Amino acid sequence: MPYEGLVASIGRRSSLRSRAADLDRADAVLARIIPSGSLEQIIYRVDALHRLEERGARVMNSPRAIERTVDKFWTSALLEQCGIPTPDTVVCETNEEAFAAFRELGDVIVKPLFGSMGLGMIRVSDEDMAFRVFKTIEQIRGVYYLQRAIEHEGRDLRAFVIGGRVLAAIERRSDGWRTNISRGGTACAVRLPEPLAALAVRAAAAVGAEYAGVDLLPARDGTIYVLEVNGIPGWRGLQEASGVDVADAVIRQLTLQAP
């Protein structure tokens, strides 16, 4: 059902529908995307999920988990709070603070606060590039999210966590610093060692996600960093590489506690 078709009525005929579909009759709701839009549109769409959950529908992931994972700052803060290794990060609103952070960190990945699939990410390692990137963010009144670039071997791991366990995992490789399959990376199925599987499960739990795509980055110094916890993960590449029926597992988890 499209978010753009949401119509909420309050009063004698209280209801929530998407076009012709009566969402108040749903036992369970699987949120598969929060479409881009204005701040008001995005808040309204998440509010609709909150309303459904508060009226007894089974919503997965929960609206609160979605709010935590679509916001990279909140995700990073929760990971740190739970003692999970994540790269040094600075989030700010002024050009001056962004430049100060860049000079301290040296080589950074600048990411949009909201975004996925590697879209909008830029690696900045010199002041000329920093000036251009930061000026653009300033002009759109954006938030600066800078994360220290981690030296690695051109690979990372995506673990698909569901119901407190790792369902499947893939290793993604590329010739550059971005390994997203949607950005040209390649993938093969792997079996995670128990410590890495446990780390992925902890990361999903840190944001309250029942299912999540957790990105793990093995650094050259041996540290394993959690880069991202995606609360509305895609799974086509992982399913094709691993042969695991991810969609079936998601539906089984969704209906586990549905009325």
Residues 155 and 128 both lie in one domain: no
- Please name the residues in contact with 250: beta carbons below 8 A apart, sequence gap of 6 or more: 30, 60, 162, 211, 235
Which DSSP helix (H) or strand (E) runs through 52? helix 39-54
- Asked which of 133, 148, 163 is the last residue of a domain, the reply is 148
Q: pLDDT tens for residues 161-219?
A: 999 999 999 998 876 656 555 555 678 999 999 999 999 999 999 999 999 999 999 99
Tally of structural domains, the chain: 3
- Give the mean pLDDT of 71-97: 96
According to the model, what pLDDT value does residue 100 have?
Answer: 96
| Mean pLDDT, rounded, of the chain | 91
Distance CA 63, CA 248 (A): 22
- Asked which of 100, 119, 148 is the last residue of a domain, the reply is 148
According to the model, what pLDDT value does residue 49 have?
Answer: 97
Which DSSP helix (H) or strand (E) runs through 22? strand 21-22
According to the model, what pLDDT value does residue 182 have?
Answer: 52
Beta strand 15-18 with 6-9: parallel, antiparallel or unpaired?
Answer: antiparallel
Query: Residue 211 pairs with which residues in a beta bridge?
Result: 162
- Asked which of 11, 39, 60 is the last residue of a domain, the reply is 60
Query: Do 193 and 258 form a contact (C-beta atoms < 8 A)?
Result: no
Query: Do 113 and 145 form a contact (C-beta atoms < 8 A)?
Result: yes
3-state secondary structure of 215: strand
Residues 94 and 141 both lie in one domain: yes
Could you tell me if residue 37 is inside a domain?
yes
Could you tell me if residue 22 is inside a domain?
yes
Residues 163 and 244 both lie in one domain: yes
List the CATH number of the domain containing 159.
3.30.470.20
Beta strand 28-30 with 89-92: parallel, antiparallel or unpaired?
Answer: unpaired
Could you tell me if residue 211 is inside a domain?
yes
Query: Do 209 and 69 form a contact (C-beta atoms < 8 A)?
Result: yes
Domain that holds residue 42: 3-60
Q: Is the pLDDT of residue 116 over 70?
A: no
Beta strand 58-60 with 28-30: parallel, antiparallel or unpaired?
Answer: parallel
**Would you give the end-to-end CA distance of the chain in angstroms?**
20
Q: pLDDT tens for residues 5-48?
A: 999 999 988 999 998 899 999 999 999 988 888 889 999 999 99
- How large is the angle between the packed helices 39-54 and 63-70, nearest 10 degrees? 150
Q: Is the pLDDT of residue 117 over 80?
A: no
Which DSSP helix (H) or strand (E) runs through 168? strand 165-173
Residues 161 and 216 both lie in one domain: yes
- For the record, the structure tokens of 3 come out as 């978010």
Any alpha helices (H) in the chain, and if so which ranges? 39-54, 63-70, 72-81, 95-105, 127-139, 194-206, 236-242, 246-255
Could you tell me if residue 84 is inside a domain?
no
Residues 188 and 215 both lie in one domain: yes
Residues 117 and 189 both lie in one domain: no
Residues 123 and 138 both lie in one domain: yes
What percentage of the chain exceeds 90 in pLDDT? 79
Residues 38 and 118 both lie in one domain: no
Residues 182 and 247 both lie in one domain: yes
Q: pLDDT tens for residues 225-249?
A: 999 999 999 998 899 999 999 999 9
Residues 36 and 117 both lie in one domain: no
Residues 169 and 250 both lie in one domain: yes
Could you tell me if residue 50 is inside a domain?
yes
Burial label, 224 (beta-carbon count in 10 A; 0-12, 13-18, 19+): middle
Distance CA 62, CA 246 (A): 19
